[in-house]
Structure 1
Amino acid sequence: MKRKKIFRVATLVLLFSVLMTTIPAQTTSANSKNKSASQSTKVNWPKGPSVGADSAIVMDAKTGLILYSKNIHKKQYPASITKIMTTLLALENCSLSETVSFSKTAVNIESGSTHIGIKAGEQLSMQDSLYAIMLNSANEVSNGVAEHISGSISEFAKLMTKRAKELGCEDTHFANANGLHDDNHYTSAYDMALISKAALQNSTFRSITQTRRYTIGSTNLEKTKRYMSNHHQMLNPVKYPQYAYEYCIGGKTGFTNKARNTLVTFAKKGDMELICVVLKSSPPNVLPNNQYTDTIKLLNFGFENYTTYNINSQSNGLSLDSSQLFTRYNPLFDKNSSSLQVSGDGYVILPNKVKLSEATKTVTVVKNTELKDGSNVIGSIVYNYGGKQVGHTDIIYNKSASVSLDTSHKINKNDTSDNPLVNLFNNATTSHKVSPLLILAIVLIIIVILVIALIILFQVKKQSFSHRSYRRRNIFRKRF
Structure 2
Amino acid sequence: MRCISNLKNRVTALCMVLVFSTFITGCSDTEYAFPYTIPSADYGENGAVVMKTFASDLCVTNSDIGDSLTLSENTCLGLFDLSKKKTLYAKNAQLQLDPASLTKVMTAIVALKKGSLDQVLRADSSVYISEDGAQVINLKEGDTMTLDQALHILLLYSANDVAVLIANNISGSMEAFVEEMNNEAKALGATHTHFMNPNGLTADDHYTSVYDMYLMFNEALKYDKFTEIIHMSNYSTQFYTASGELRDVNVKNTNGFINGNYEMPAGITVLGGKTGTTAAAGHCLVQLASDTSGNNYIAVVMRAEDTGTLYSEMSDLLLQITNQ
Alpha-carbon distance, 1:47 to partner: 5.1
Letter aligned with residue 90 of structure 2: S
* Counterpart for residue 231 of structure 1: 254
Secondary structure in 2 matching 1:304: coil
Q: Give the Cα–Cα distance (whole angstroms) in 2 for the partners of residues 211 and 273 of structure 1.
A: 18
Bigger-Rg structure (1/2): 1
Q: Out of 181-190 and 269-278, give the one that drifted further.
A: 269-278
Deviation sequence 1:61-116 (CA, Å, 0-9, x none): 34542110000000000000110110111111111100111110123442320011
Aligned residues of 1:213 and 1:228 also touching (Cα < 8 A): yes
Matched, 1:253 2:275: yes
- The aligned counterpart of 1:283 is 306
Tell me by how many angstroms 1:152 deviates: 1.3
Q: SS where residue 233 of structure 1 aligns?
A: coil
Q: Which residue does the alignment assign to 1:99? A: 120
How do residues 145-294 of structure 1 correspond to structure 2 at under 5 angstroms?
145-221=166-242, 222-237=245-260, 240-242=261-263, 247-269=269-291, 270-285=293-308, 290-294=309-313
**Residue number among 24, 36, 49 corresponding to 2:69 in the alignment:** 49
Cα distance in 2, alignment partners of residues 244 and 99 from structure 1:
40
Distance 2:178 2:294 in 1: 35
Question: Contact 1:233–1:244 at 8 Å: present in 2 too?
Answer: no
- Percent identity, aligned pairs only? 31
- Distance in 2 (CA, whole Å) between partners of 1:118 and 1:147 is 14
- Change in 2 beyond 3 A, CA 1:134/1:244: farther
Whether contact under 8 Å (2:127, 2:139) holds in the other structure is: no
Call closer, same or farther: CA 1:78–1:122 in 2, change over 3 Å: same
Structure 1 CA distance, aligned partners of 2:85 and 2:103?
20
Give SS of 2:320's match: helix
Amino acid of the residue matched to residue 181 of structure 1?
A: T
Letter in 2 for 1:131: H
Q: Note closer, same or farther for the CA distance 1:164–1:303 as it changes in structure 2 (3 Å cut).
A: farther
**Which 10-residue stretch deviates more, 196-205 or 183-192?**
196-205
Q: Distance in 1 between matches of 2:262 and 2:78?
A: 24
d(CA) in 2 for partners of 1:117 and 1:278?
29
Which residue number corresponds to residue 304 of structure 1?
323
TM-score (norm 1): 0.51
User: Would the aligned equivalents of 1:136 and 1:231 in 2 still touch at CA under 8 Å?
Assistant: yes
Is the contact between residue 278 and residue 295 of structure 1 (CA under 8 Å) also seen in structure 2?
A: yes
In structure 2, distance between residues paired with 1:105 and 1:218: 18
Confirm whether residue 143 of structure 1 aligns to residue 164 of structure 2.
Answer: yes
What displacement does 1:200 show?
A: 1.1
- SS of corresponding position for 2:322: helix
User: Which has the higher relative contact order, 1 or 2, with Cα contacts under 8 A spaced 6 or more apart?
Assistant: 2
| Equivalent residue letter for 1:298 | L
* One-letter amino acid of the structure 1 residue matched with residue 297 of structure 2: L
Alpha-carbon separation, structure 2, partners of 1:160 and 1:63 = 28
The alpha-carbon distance between structure 1 residues 186 and 174, as it changes in their structure 2 partners (threshold 3 A), is: same
C-alpha displacement of 1:118: 1.1
Preserved contact between residue 60 and residue 275 of structure 1 (Cα < 8 Å): yes
Matched, 1:121 2:142: yes
What displacement does 1:266 show? 1.2
CA distance in 2, matches of 1:192, 1:78: 9
Distance (Å, rounded) in 1 between the aligned partners of 2:310 and 2:179: 29
Structure 1: which amino acid aligns with 2:107?
T
Distance 1:186 1:107 in 2: 23
AA matched with 1:192: M
Structure-1 separation of matches of 2:151 and 2:246: 20
SS in 1 for 2:246: coil
Task: Tell me the amino acid that sits aligned with residue 294 of structure 2.
Answer: D
- The alignment's TM-score, normalised by the length of structure 2, stands at 0.75
2:108 pairs with one of 87, 107, 110: 87
Evaluate the alpha carbon distance shift between residue 175 and residue 283 of structure 1 in structure 2; reply closer, same or farther with a 3 A threshold.
Answer: same
1:292-321 deviation line (CA, Å, top 9, x unaligned)? 11111111102331xxxxxxxxxxxxxxxx
- Are positions 1:68 and 2:83 aligned together? no
Residues 256-287 of structure 1: CA deviation (Å, up to 9, x unaligned): 111111111210122311111111112224xx
Structure 1 residues 133-172: Cα deviation after superposition (integer angstroms, max 9, x where no partner): 0001000000111111211112211111110111111100
Return the structure number with greater helix share. Answer: 1
Q: CA deviation at 1:176?
A: 0.3
Whole-angstrom distance in 2 between the partners of 1:144 and 1:107? 10
- SS of the aligned residue for 2:215 comes to helix
Contact 1:234 1:244 (8 Å CA) reproduced: no
Change (3 A) 1:244 1:299: closer
Structure 1 unpaired stretches of 5+: 1-44, 306-480
Query: How far off is 1:127 after superposition?
Result: 0.5
State the Cα RMSD in Å.
Answer: 2.1
How far apart are residue 178 of structure 1 and its match?
0.2
Distance 1:63 1:100, change over 3 A: farther
For residue 218 of structure 1, report the CA deviation from its aligned partner. 3.9
Query: Gapped runs of 5+ residues in structure 2?
Result: 1-64
Q: Deviations over 1:428-459 (max 9, x none)?
A: xxxxxxxxxxxxxxxxxxxxxxxxxxxxxxxx
Cross-structure match for 1:432: none
